[in-house]
Structure 1
Amino acid sequence: MADGGAPAEPKAPKQAPQPGQMSQSLDEPVRGLEKVDDLKVHHREFFGGVGSFTVLKHEHLSQSTMSGSFTLTSSTGGVTEYKGCFNGNPADDGPTPNGLGVRINPDGSSFAGEWKEGFPHGQGEWKAAAPSCESYVGEWKRGKKHGYGTMKFNNGDCYEGDWADGKFQDRGKYTYSNGDEFMGLWEKGVKVSGTFYFADGRVSTRKWQGGKLVSCQEFDARKRSYMPTTTHQQVHDPRANQYGAAASMSNMITCNGVRVTT
Structure 2
Amino acid sequence: DAESYESYDSKGLRDTQGHAGRSTHSSSSRSGHRSLPSRKDSGNSNFSSTLREVSVTHVSDQRLTDSFGESGVCTGIVTVSDGVPHGHGRFDYDKEGCFYEGEWRDGRWHGQGHLGNGAGDVYNGCLERDLKHGMGTMDFADGRRFQGQYVFGEMREGTMTYPDGNSYKGQWRRGLPHGQGQSRFADVSWYEGSF
Is the structural similarity TM-score above 0.5?
A: yes
Q: What CA deviation, in whole Å up to 9, does each residue of 1:12-66 have, x standing for no partner?
A: xxxxxxxxxxxxxxxxxxxxxxxxxxxxxxxxx84xx7469xxxxxxxxx94221
Quickly say closer, same or farther: Cα 1:64–1:79, change in 2 above 3 A.
closer
The equivalent position to 1:115 in structure 2, one of 98, 104, 113, is 104
Quickly say closer, same or farther: Cα 1:116–1:133, change in 2 above 3 A.
same
Runs (5+) with no aligned partner, structure 1: 1-44, 53-61, 209-262
Give the counterpart letter for 1:179 in structure 2: G
Cα drift, residue 188 of structure 1: 4.6
- TM-score between the two structures when normalised by the length of structure 1: 0.50
Quickly say closer, same or farther: Cα 1:88–1:193, change in 2 above 3 A.
same
- TM-score between the two structures when normalised by the length of structure 2: 0.65
Is 2:57 the partner of 1:66? yes
Partner of 1:213: none
Q: What CA deviation, in whole Å up to 9, does each residue of 1:130-185 have, x standing for no partner?
A: xx43200000001110000000111111100000111101x200101111010112
d(CA) in 2 for partners of 1:79 and 1:164? 27
Partner of 1:37: none
Is 2:154 the partner of 1:163? no
Partner of 2:120: 133
Partner of 1:231: none
Partner of 1:96: 84
Q: Is 1:51–1:72's contact at 8 Å kept on the other side of the alignment?
A: no
Task: Count residues in correspondence.
Answer: 143
Runs of 4+ residues deviating >4 angstroms: 49-52
Q: Is 2:64–2:84's contact at 8 Å kept on the other side of the alignment?
A: no
Is 2:77 the partner of 1:85? yes
Cα drift, residue 121 of structure 1: 0.4
d(CA) in 1 for partners of 2:113 and 2:150? 14
Runs (5+) with no aligned partner, structure 2: 1-24, 31-52
**Root mean square deviation of aligned Cα:** 2.5
Partner of 1:257: none
Partner of 2:160: 174
